Amino acid sequence: GDCSAVISFSVAFSDNCGVTNTSGPSSPVSFNVGTTVVTHSARDAAGGETLCVFSVTVVDAEDPAITCPADGTFNTGSGACDATVTYPVPTVSDNCVPQTPQLGSGPAN
């Protein structure tokens, strides 16, 4: 999956004397996960200026993936009531790096 989204938008400026200068990103724009504030400005010949400010929020809607070790059955040692078990750590991945998923709680191996 992607960790960004390409967003198209339209910003229109007008003025009774005509807009002579505008600034801001050209659509479409690729935005990363999170909230980005986009600012456009327009200036007329008389020096008047106005701003257009809006937020774009991109959400990572894809859950992380986890691969668990296989189930196992283990015997206790002679005369013991428990067993020491070693198992591989589950592997995890996520479409948005460096937002690597963290392993939750569980007994250490």
What's the pLDDT tens digit per position in 79-93?
A: 888 888 888 888 888
Q: E strands, the chain, where?
A: 4-7, 19-23, 29-32, 34-44, 49-58, 65-67, 91-93
By the 8 A CB rule, do 24 and 12 touch?
A: no
Return the pLDDT at 109.
52
**Pairing mode, if any, of strands 65-67 and 49-58?**
unpaired
What's the pLDDT tens digit per position in 10-63?
A: 988 888 888 887 889 989 999 999 999 999 999 988 888 999 999 999 999 888
Q: What is the pTM of this model?
A: 0.65
Tokens 């948005």, residue? Answer: 96
Return the pLDDT at 41.
93
Return the pLDDT at 31.
95
Amino acid found at 5: A
